[in-house]
A and B are shown apart, each in its own frame.
Chain A
């Protein structure tokens, strides 16, 4: 079965359930392809040997009632995995082996999935190109010279390159949707509080959410159904009734009202993106839904707000990496000296930059001008969404202001790098769910994504809209396997 890795999750589950494929077949196929794909640099740590053992064990006594029966998958290296090194893409956690499992990955293994390994990402999920990883940048399977986006760059590349049928990433300002868009796959950022943050290395606690990344909308719905759960171990986890997203998935979106926010038509946005958006509006109407022009007046303030809130929380969340309890420690003459050297040598430049921003905006004399101001603007941004959701069921925007850029192109200009997240960041600030689906190509043949933003806890609705559009778009990713030797 040479084309196992080309199959979607839904197909693989189907084939395992009706015994056309064993878990061992599937696991071996993905391991084989992963081993031939070292050049992509998607894996930080692999667990192939024990993956095969687990697959064999599964096949001996297969439980086919599970949602992910014997399905191998790799996950972003931000999820703590018991007895498997977890680095968050950082030197400071280079040698860290958790003795515990994140709730989200626990949910996945409980449904029968098997861990292949840990995927590369920007250091502590801070980045939009996967170039801040201590373990080197990741190649985009679309083209050797392109970044896969970030921070879940390894995850996006691994799905697009078919090294794993599905994966999970985390999204703080666009870290699932932007790389999904850059690599031509589907990525969902759930409502804040939908997926537990327990056991996920924290970046910015009020924005971080784990979410599924997959080849198609249906796979994404199934994986989301597995990972979303109420967790008493996370005080921000919300106890609400969760759908069987994959079962209830429908392409019937007739009569739905979809908002088109004028503020997302930003200066300097390439015509290709504008065209893609128009195409999206067309598809929406084709599906029998209605589009409505709306206004989210504070959109342009989202990114500056984000670059106060996220670094502020990060500066505090990353204080625990001090060389005392775990991770990298530099030699120091005394405690303070040890701290300063450990953190200076252990964190990369982008992480240090954000810690510095965060420390500054919280420091005495600046709190009101920056942090408090940002929390107020955040309220305004949330109010914008609350207002339009009185009139519409969902919002359609481009996922990113451009297609994937070249490796090294933006590393020296942090602001231009940050601008990548201009369409994704407002969603995190408002705690809403949003999905990015591949919707077309630019003139180079690089994929472009559209984003559908939903109401809080209304993942089913945006999955349905995405599902309906997916059918109309009929997107084909242009993967040439250039990296396979």
Chain B
């Protein structure tokens, strides 16, 4: 199988990483060699194997419905790239 430039463009769109032509070509090369190596899995028949969804053999623990987190807006906003006291600010969303 082969991953072409169109596929690279599509994945980069999904991953929200812009890639120029040059980088896309490099990535296509890298990914193809990695997937050649991954294809080894096709040797294995796994039709009747249950997929592993979680490595721990326990189940989910439930917490009680209590409000513990207080108003920490200052902390939350502190690291945000664009200064505003109340909100996270991002460039205009174009629908």
Please say whether the chains A and B touch (CB closer than 8 A): yes
Does A357 contact B31, Cβ atoms closer than 8 Å? yes
What is the minimal beta-carbon distance from A179 to any residue of chain B, in angstroms? Answer: 22
Is A326 engaged at the interface, CB distance under 8 Å to the other chain?
yes
Roughly how many angstroms separate A478 CA and B30 CA in the complex, as a whole number? Answer: 37
Q: How large is the interface on A (under 10, 10 to 19, 20 to 34, 35 or more residues)?
A: 35 or more
Is B67 engaged at the interface, CB distance under 8 Å to the other chain?
no
What is the minimal beta-carbon distance from A386 to any residue of chain B, in angstroms? Answer: 10
Roughly how many angstroms separate A360 CA and B3 CA in the complex, as a whole number? Answer: 10
Of B40, B46, B78, the contact of A300 (CB 8 Å cutoff): B40
Roughly how many angstroms separate A327 CA and B44 CA in the complex, as a whole number? Answer: 42
What is the minimal beta-carbon distance from B10 to any residue of chain A, in angstroms? Answer: 8
Does B90 contact A380, Cβ atoms closer than 8 Å? no
Does B60 contact A235, Cβ atoms closer than 8 Å? yes
Closest A residue by C-beta to B42: A373
Roughly how many angstroms separate A341 CA and B90 CA in the complex, as a whole number? Answer: 13
CB neighbours (8 Å) of A431 from chain B are 55-56
What is the minimal beta-carbon distance from B72 to any residue of chain A, in angstroms? Answer: 8
What is the minimal beta-carbon distance from A154 to any residue of chain B, in angstroms? Answer: 23
Does A380 contact B46, Cβ atoms closer than 8 Å? yes
17 CB-based A-B contacts, threshold 8 Å: A99-B75, A304-B38, A304-B39, A308-B41, A323-B81, A324-B88, A333-B91, A343-B17, A344-B17, A347-B17, A357-B31, A363-B10, A373-B46, A375-B51, A377-B41, A378-B51, A380-B44
A interface residues with partner B (beta carbon < 8 Å): 95-97, 99, 192-193, 206, 232, 235-236, 238-239, 298, 300-301, 303-305, 307-308, 315, 319, 322-329, 332-341, 343-344, 347, 352-353, 355-357, 359-360, 363, 370, 372-380, 382, 413-415, 418, 429-431
B interface residues with partner A (beta carbon < 8 Å): 3, 7-8, 10-12, 14-19, 27, 30-31, 33-34, 37-41, 43-44, 46, 49-56, 58, 60-61, 63, 72, 75-76, 78-82, 88, 90-94
